[in-house]
């Protein structure tokens, strides 16, 4: 099929871009002007049948052919991948929270810290303080009572060195228990009673532990600087390996008896054994 050049009238084959004679460009005619073959029933889809879009893309659809394209039905799952998902547990501090208004969590909000526990009423605090104070008072009282009780037991029977009779009592107790250095501290230097009571008590100390169990005195004379004390009772208990024996030191005669009368002098405010 040929076309005629509009400039020189030369016949030109259809599809040529320019006239071979004069070189004039040829105008392209629309394919709509071309005769088209009639569409048969076999090329049209039967009514009610959905047309596959992908299949239509691979087919040639002639202009003017009426083809119904059924839109693809897209069904979303119940569990969305992103966006707002409904109520969520509290996010960490500074993280964007997903909400219906902000499905991507672009707005960063600082959530308030959890509310502090309610403070107990003032009456409960007052009662608790009273209980604490009461227990503290009882504890302090128990400590004081225990200290006084054990201190009393420790000092029970211990004579006072402020009196002549007390000085003689402590002197004999120390010597009976074998503390001769302590006994010397309660006597003037060179007092003969120190050596005498040491010689009397050593045999008992060799038998076992000696404890002064009975002691009694009477002050026969006393002034501001001198005093005389008579020993009325002097008993000790000796605990040996197999038994415990009580002895009356005033009946001791070997190698020599213990003097029953003790003379004292007062020096630097202290009563000391003199003879």
pLDDT tens digit sequence for 222-241? 898 999 999 999 999 999 88
- The first and second tokens of residue 131, run together, are 């209980």
Q: What is the pLDDT of residue 229?
A: 95
Q: What is the pLDDT of residue 2?
A: 76
Q: How wide is the angle at C-alpha 57 spanned by C-alphas 51 and 60, nearest 5°?
A: 95
Measure the CA–CA gap between 217 and 121, rounded to whole angstroms: 69
Measure the CA–CA gap between 43 and 57, rounded to whole angstroms: 15
Closest CA to 91 of 82, 80, 100, 99: 99
Q: Which CATH class is domain 164-273?
A: alpha beta
Measure the CA–CA gap between 159 and 271, rounded to whole angstroms: 13
Measure the CA–CA gap between 31 and 12, rounded to whole angstroms: 18
User: Could you say which residues of the chain have pLDDT below 70?
Assistant: 1, 27-98, 105, 108-121, 148-159
CA distances from 272 to 215, 260, 262, 264, 269 (A): 18, 16, 10, 5, 10
- Residue with structure tokens 């107790």? 173
Give the residue extent of every domain in the chain.
Answer: 164-273
Q: What is the pLDDT of residue 30?
A: 46
Considering just the CA atoms, what is the radius of gyration of the chain in Å? 65
Residues 264 and 164: beta-carbon distance below 8 Å: yes
pLDDT tens string 125-139: 888 888 899 989 888
Pinpoint the alpha helices (H) of the chain: 53-57, 122-155, 164-176, 180-184, 192-207
End-to-end CA distance of the chain: 171
Q: What is the pLDDT of residue 32?
A: 47
- Strand-pair category, 11-13 with 209-222: unpaired
Q: What is the pLDDT of residue 271?
A: 94
Q: What is the pLDDT of residue 182?
A: 92
Measure the CA–CA gap between 82 and 103, rounded to whole angstroms: 8
List, in order, residues 6 or more apart from 61 with CB less than 8 Å away: 67
Residues 176 and 249: beta-carbon distance below 8 Å: yes
Q: How wide is the angle at C-alpha 78 spanned by C-alphas 75 and 79, nearest 5°?
A: 120
Q: What is the enclosing helix (H) or strand (E) of 213?
A: strand 209-222
DSSP state of 82: S
pTM equals: 0.44
């Amino acid at each position: 099929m040929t076309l005629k050049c509009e400039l020189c009238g030369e016949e030109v084959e259809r599809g040529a871009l320019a006239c071979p004679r004069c070189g004039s460009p040829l105008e392209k005619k629309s394919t709509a002007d071309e005769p088209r073959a009639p569409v048969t029933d076999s090329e049209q889809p039967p009514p009610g049948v959905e047309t596959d879009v992908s299949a239509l893309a691979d087919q040639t659809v002639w202009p003017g052919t009426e083809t119904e394209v059924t839109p693809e039905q897209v069904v979303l799952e119940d569990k969305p991948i992103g966006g707002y998902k409904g109520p969520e547990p509290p996010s960490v501090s500074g993280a964007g929270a997903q909400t219906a208004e902000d499905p991507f969590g672009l707005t960063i909000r600082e959530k308030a810290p959890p509310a502090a526990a309610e403070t107990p009423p003032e009456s409960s605090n007052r009662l608790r303080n009273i209980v604490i104070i009461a227990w503290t008072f009882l504890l302090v009282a128990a400590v004081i009572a225990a200290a006084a009780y054990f201190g009393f037991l420790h000092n029970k029977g211990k004579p006072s060195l402020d009196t002549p009779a007390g000085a003689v009592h402590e002197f004999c107790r120390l010597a009976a228990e074998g503390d001769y250095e302590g006994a010397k501290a309660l006597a003037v230097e060179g007092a003969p009673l120190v050596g005498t009571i040491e010689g009397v008590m050593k045999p008992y100390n060799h038998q076992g532990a000696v404890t002064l169990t009975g002691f009694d005195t009477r002050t026969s004379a006393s002034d501001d600087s001198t005093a005389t004390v008579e020993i009325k009772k002097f008993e000790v208990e000796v605990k040996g390996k197999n038994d415990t024996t009580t002895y009356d030191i005033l009946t001791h005669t070997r190698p020599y008896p213990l003097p029953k009368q003790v003379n004292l002098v007062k020096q630097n405010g202290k009563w000391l054994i003199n003879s």
